[in-house]
Structure 1
């Protein structure tokens, strides 16, 4: 039997981020709904044509989403929170209302929560469940897209998120309610969906169950068996897993009535012969051999040898990407300015499809000559002249335990910092960034293209910083920021100012909704070149008597939000970045910047999926943060910021960071996260987000007063900071000014009620 190739999903943003711009134009009422839908169709059409051109045997259908694929699943299942219904028909506006908290008629409603998709930087809208949840197959996007795709290929593989993972990823406000008790309600809807797809003369369906890579209880394993026994139909089911090994859950796999199983050979450790022995020979085994999460070329000869040997044991073999390609940029051929040596090592989504064709064709013809030429650059990569920096390696070898510890305990630091800063009770601040206007983006673009002289560019940036300080002083915030007008992205900006990175022009990856990021590529050892932020922060501080925060992105976040090297460990890369950031922090301190925020929103994201691996990761991740900040004076106040993650998994690690102040996302979780911090007895200061910056809704003064009062019941007012939940770069100045004005005035009113 021939080796079949396929992918688990394709990027949905468009080759020039067409979806992002169309969404934002629609929200601003610049284009109609029909125009938005047409742009979505054109993206899908181009994606399918590319997949066919690259030699894929199946077209992936169902991987396109208007915001995120978990929210698409909620819509498909009719699982729509009651507050978004309003007796109106369910349509695209409903989907955006759930995600953004604002309806087409601008009626504000608090949006559903958002969190990270497993250990990636992709976000999803969290499904909401209750005892009264009902489900209906009312959003039939999947069926429409099957009809569209049939024009381009007869072999179509629809993709849906499986019922077990969908329920796992959601939440209920009632802690006593087990959302898996909803299976008898939700499974008939899934069966109806499968039946509807089967009527389209589709033979295979991909059902994603990524939670199989987690440590599952015996109870959940039984529910897996129950679910798939219920879902057995005419459709052939490819049960898809990724992000890690599922060998620990193989006790149920062979009992589940499926026709194929996909495993991730990039992030999972497998013995294929043992897998073959455990699986029925009737089941197709799909091997994820092309990395869907990184951008380096695949060692196709390695996988040719592995699979060619495995063919002796098993006849039904497919090959595919390790996971969906939504985590990588679209097309390397768009990049005209990349270092050609580095470019020769890379493979984006389009090229990864071609890699699959090359590998399957070579396996089917038993000829690997084309593979040898494809991977030739990988064989010579060790000669890349800048890959190792001896000075950095020597510095790392001289690190001692004292480099990881602050000089004094938090309580001592707290008293010294209070005397230095004289901050009021419930100090107000923001997370760092201010609105990135079209004018500002154009200014940076002109400078990057060398249309604008450096001196004139800096003068204009200083002018914006001055205005930012003026606005904050007029609002009477207590700790100010310079607003980050010089930064395109919180990771890319620092990477551009360190040695060890290369950059793309079109390497965009979706983070959520219309939010896209362009991760830098770590190509060689990382080192500090010159000061990065000092001139901007020093100027801002010269304009005010109030403290201005130095703003840095932490080492773990820079690592995880970049595409890392694969020839050395992530731990070593994180240490290199930490050493570089430590130099920058020294420079800030020398220039009398005494409050420094080092953001680590990605700390939780890097957590391994298996429990036994978590401690090892957290040890080196926490140490990387501490290496960057711990050498400062007691009077230097270190802040860190984290958002959109499950803190209960990493609370010990957060304490071990020993930041003087941590700011978190709390606005969408209705104080749930803050209760957790209280129950855990978090010892240092905390700033829960009181303003959901991902929604255009403007909180009223009364909203803030209620939230602050609730917070004081959970956290001592002496340790409580008042701030938005994240940076304000995505909001308009009108929204920001009004919201911050309400936040500051509400804080002042609550202060009057507090006893010092």
Structure 2
């Protein structure tokens, strides 16, 4: 019997974010489409070569994307909304990026005049921090095969000597992610399957023997419609002349296991990191003719594997059948190469593995299975030693943190008074008008800001000069906000590199990278902190910056914090204790900061929980347990303040309607949410739930370069008033503004403030 190694996908961005810089150069008009495509081709070639050299036998193609693989699939199927003006089968790169980013009337990112267009909706990919573009389907739409990216990239690899297994998002997962406009997306099933059959036929004709078809929907609670669709899909697609490796990940098959194992595919990939207990049941259900791909290495976290432990589990299996060893999912979700890191100290570094190191681990496992453990004795000993060192390290546990968490009382989670009482106290202190305006927190991180930070990090700009630069940027931001007429101000966060990293760098128990970048969406990359030990707050983190900003204005300035659940979910989290335990430790650290801000005189404190929905388990039966501890951690961080202190939170790019009772249980005074792309649809659920507190529905989509008009914002707020009482409503952008340019931000915020004034006039007239 033989063991081989497969990768389900490799990071697209390049070791040093080469894709990000190529995209932004193209969008700014400083390079051509041909130059962008050359850069993309170079990244693909380098990824194939590297994976092959590391010992991978099954290389993926079509795992690369210029923006998003779900958007790629939508374009491939011709699911292009009419507003983008592309005819059947004619979508070009300008259309692709218009769907991803929207356009303005003067700049579509490609140097041509274009109408002002909104981007497609964007939300989180299952329970990850990766964002995908939501497919749109409308009644009467005709799908047509558009482009040949998947075949072209297979041929591109083959021409360079790399035999690949093309990766294709499964039709049932794509339809499950799609949003129907007056139509059920599954009404398009036969049409979609016809196009998939053509694609698979083209791949077979090009020489592909296997195709990896990703159906992560199989780890969810499937309804009967989805089960029937899967049955029809694979009865049809397995007749197309190529072998299908059906890939499931992010969880266990559970009640879908027998069903999945019975589908007429040639191979099945399972996630044994998220769901290790499913292996025995899979072995019983899977016929010997089914090639099993075992996801034994964590594709979503950065911890080094205990290889001997994995071998103990898979050796008996490999003795009786061919198996494929693989990461649990695509390596899209981890940084590229640990060897590029010089910032992490050696003790922590020995515990880690990035994408490159994970493939090396798989290659060691393959050699051990095919040639015997003695052939990799040195590597196995090193793996075991690293696991032992991590288990016994004095840096992991802090008795003071454990004592503090154990001493928490129920009263620490409760505000002193109900919202109605608090709202009256806050109105008296803050004196805000109807439809108060604010922003989410950050202002543009310009080239000058990034340069100053880089020079300071390199030691070329001393502390005093850097602090003076940041004070000047903050003062300019405060002055501009006063001039434009915003009601509640922010200091702009120029001192912050990232909303999680900034706090993690000031907390114990975190490590940080230099090149540990992970794609969030498009060209947006983040460096998640590595949470390896117990968390505490040695010193105040934000008080002095808030105090300085507030000294410059008579208007209220929000204190800006990242919430415990978001810090947890946007970090690579230790796997030696429950996530809930780590979250409570972070909650105590944020609570201390909240109380220090209030003591300094801050009357409005925003505790962002952008990732609360993202951490929701994939199976509904597990939701409440997660929501209970997540809400408890937020309340622990926020509830110590007095009635007159206004607690804000912010959430974005998630579906909230199914967890609204838990959002209500957070007991905030104001919540701001993303609603611009969805035309206020989210507010329908808030209205049905009768959400009691104030809401700031976003009227400015900051993830697109277009500048909306004031009238567009007024129309959105009129829609909002169909669902909520006017006195509940704030006016704000969808999210922070750090990724935008001042040239975009200033006219958009000016329009937003003018829109709020229009709403006030309309409200007075109606009264």
TM-score (ref. length: structure 1): 0.98
The superposition leaves residues 234-277 of structure 1 with CA deviations (integer Å, 9 ceiling, x where unpaired) of 21100000000002112322331100100000001434333222
Q: Which residue of 1 aligns with 2:100?
A: 99
Q: Does 1:461 align with 2:470?
A: yes
What are the residue-to-residue correspondences of 1:280-319 with 2, within 5 Å? 280-312=287-319, 314-319=320-325
Match of 2:372 among 358, 366, 372: 366
The superposition leaves residues 698-752 of structure 1 with CA deviations (integer Å, 9 ceiling, x where unpaired) of 1112112212222122211111000000011111112111111111112112201
Match of 1:742 among 726, 729, 751: 751
Q: Which residue of 1 aligns with 2:28?
A: 28
Residues 219, 252 of structure 2: 8 Å contact kept? yes
Q: Which residue of 2 aligns with 1:648?
A: 657
Query: 2: CA distance between counterparts of 1:389 and 1:682?
Result: 40
Give the secondary-structure state (helix, strand or coil) at the position aligned to 1:295.
coil
Residues 129, 570 of structure 2: 8 Å contact kept? yes
Query: 2: CA distance between counterparts of 1:656 and 1:746?
Result: 31
Higher deviation after alignment, 126-135 or 437-446: 126-135
Question: How far off is 1:106 after superposition?
Answer: 4.9
The superposition leaves residues 85-140 of structure 1 with CA deviations (integer Å, 9 ceiling, x where unpaired) of 25594222211110011133252201100000000000000000122222222221
Give the secondary-structure state (helix, strand or coil) at the position aligned to 1:150.
helix
Q: Which residue of 2 aligns with 1:493?
A: 502
Aligned residues: 753
Query: 2: CA distance between counterparts of 1:154 and 1:463?
Result: 54
Match of 1:204 among 194, 203, 210: 210
Give the secondary-structure state (helix, strand or coil) at the position aligned to 2:369.
helix
Q: Which residue of 2 aligns with 1:346?
A: 352
Query: 2: CA distance between counterparts of 1:134 and 1:411?
Result: 51
Q: Which residue of 2 aligns with 1:161?
A: 169
Q: Which residue of 2 aligns with 1:377?
A: 386
Q: Does 1:672 align with 2:686?
A: no
TM-score (ref. length: structure 2): 0.97
What are the residue-to-residue correspondences of 1:9-88 with 2, within 5 Å? 9-86=9-86
The superposition leaves residues 422-466 of structure 1 with CA deviations (integer Å, 9 ceiling, x where unpaired) of 111110000000011000001111112222111221111111111
Question: How far off is 1:194 after superposition?
Answer: 0.3
What are the residue-to-residue correspondences of 1:414-453 with 2, within 5 Å? 414-453=423-462
Q: Does 1:275 align with 2:272?
A: no
Q: Which residue of 2 aligns with 1:551?
A: 560
Q: 5+ residue gaps in structure 2?
A: none
Query: 2: CA distance between counterparts of 1:234 and 1:738?
Result: 55
Question: How far off is 1:409 after superposition?
Answer: 0.6
The superposition leaves residues 326-376 of structure 1 with CA deviations (integer Å, 9 ceiling, x where unpaired) of 000000111122101111111000111111111011111121523232332
Question: How far off is 1:154 after superposition?
Answer: 4.8
Query: 1: CA distance between counterparts of 2:466 and 2:257?
Result: 59
Q: Does 1:171 align with 2:179?
A: yes
What are the residue-to-residue correspondences of 1:392-411 with 2, within 5 Å? 392-411=401-420
Match of 1:726 among 730, 735, 740: 735
Residues 517, 525 of structure 2: 8 Å contact kept? yes
Q: Which residue of 2 aligns with 1:215?
A: 221
Match of 1:112 among 106, 111, 120: 120
Match of 2:576 among 541, 563, 567: 567
Residues 247, 270 of structure 1: 8 Å contact kept? no
Query: 2: CA distance between counterparts of 1:275 and 1:704?
Result: 52
The superposition leaves residues 35-90 of structure 1 with CA deviations (integer Å, 9 ceiling, x where unpaired) of 10000000001101110110100111010001010001111112111111255942
Residues 130, 520 of structure 2: 8 Å contact kept? yes
Query: 2: CA distance between counterparts of 1:746 and 1:614?
Result: 38
Question: How far off is 1:202 after superposition?
Answer: 1.2
Give the secondary-structure state (helix, strand or coil) at the position aligned to 2:613.
coil
The superposition leaves residues 513-556 of structure 1 with CA deviations (integer Å, 9 ceiling, x where unpaired) of 00000011112111101111111111111111110000000001
Query: 2: CA distance between counterparts of 1:436 and 1:203?
Result: 47
Query: 2: CA distance between counterparts of 1:605 and 1:460?
Result: 36
Q: Which residue of 1 aligns with 2:272?
A: 265
Give the secondary-structure state (helix, strand or coil) at the position aligned to 1:527.
coil
Give the secondary-structure state (helix, strand or coil) at the position aligned to 2:483.
helix
Residues 80, 86 of structure 2: 8 Å contact kept? no
Give the secondary-structure state (helix, strand or coil) at the position aligned to 2:270.
strand
Give the secondary-structure state (helix, strand or coil) at the position aligned to 1:754.
helix
Residues 225, 255 of structure 1: 8 Å contact kept? no
Match of 1:696 among 695, 702, 705: 705
Question: How far off is 1:309 after superposition?
Answer: 1.8
Residues 10, 325 of structure 1: 8 Å contact kept? yes
Give the secondary-structure state (helix, strand or coil) at the position aligned to 1:285.
strand
The superposition leaves residues 400-439 of structure 1 with CA deviations (integer Å, 9 ceiling, x where unpaired) of 1111111111111011111111111110000000011000
Q: Which residue of 2 aligns with 1:613?
A: 622
Query: What is the Cα-based RMSD across aligned positions, in Å?
Result: 1.3
Residues 429, 723 of structure 1: 8 Å contact kept? yes
Q: Does 1:481 align with 2:487?
A: no
What are the residue-to-residue correspondences of 1:214-253 with 2, within 5 Å? 214-232=220-238, 233-253=240-260
Query: 2: CA distance between counterparts of 1:86 and 1:50?
Result: 37
Give the secondary-structure state (helix, strand or coil) at the position aligned to 2:572.
coil
The 1:254–1:293 alpha-carbon spacing in structure 2 relative to 1, beyond 3 Å, is: closer
Residues 296, 346 of structure 1: 8 Å contact kept? yes
Give the secondary-structure state (helix, strand or coil) at the position aligned to 1:714.
coil
Residues 599, 642 of structure 1: 8 Å contact kept? yes
Residues 48, 152 of structure 1: 8 Å contact kept? no
Question: How far off is 1:151 after superposition?
Answer: 3.8
Q: Does 1:131 align with 2:139?
A: yes
Match of 1:516 among 522, 525, 532: 525
Q: Does 1:584 align with 2:584?
A: no
